[in-house]
Amino acid sequence: MISPKRLMVAFLGSLAVLILAGQGTAQKQTIAQATIPFEFWIAGNCLPAGDYQIELVESTAYLLFRSTDGKTVQDVYTLPLDEDPVKESEFKLVFRIRDGRHYLYEGWGPYGRRVVTVESGRPAPTGDERVEVPVTYR
């Protein structure tokens, strides 16, 4: 029979291994940065022009836009158009211009191309109704 002391040592050792293994496989939080030079809309909410951090929260489908001054925060859900990583030189946000307003349409980055859920039923903007803003990751 195994003594309670040995059983406790084995349990604690196993727990320590699981914790360390979990830390090694935890997803690193990825933060993108973009300077958006115009007022823009995400899912019915207007955000001011400025410098933004874009955080992947829990998954690549849920993004959080946060102004670098901390005054503006907006979340958005996205759907994958594809999961193929985009070259770093092509990382960007794509905006649709409609009635003089800029609406976030999609983002291109290391997790592929993703479209904003509320925009997913609309065709990709082209020509004069499309504006692209570069994104950098750190």
Contacts of 66 (CB under 8 A, 6+ apart): 52, 53, 54, 55, 72, 73
pLDDT in tens, 72-101: 999 999 999 998 999 999 999 999 999 999
Query: What are the C-alpha distances in Å from 121 to residues 23, 78, 105, 117, 118?
Result: 39, 12, 11, 8, 7
Give the pLDDT score at 31.
84
In this model, does residue 35 exceed pLDDT 80? yes
Which residue has better confidence, 24 or 70? 70
Cβ atoms 96, 130 nearer than 8 A: yes
pLDDT in tens, 39-63: 999 989 999 999 999 998 767 788 9
In this model, does residue 24 exceed pLDDT 70? no
CA distance 26 to 41: 32
Where are the chain's structural domains?
A: 31-137
pTM above 0.85, yes or no: no
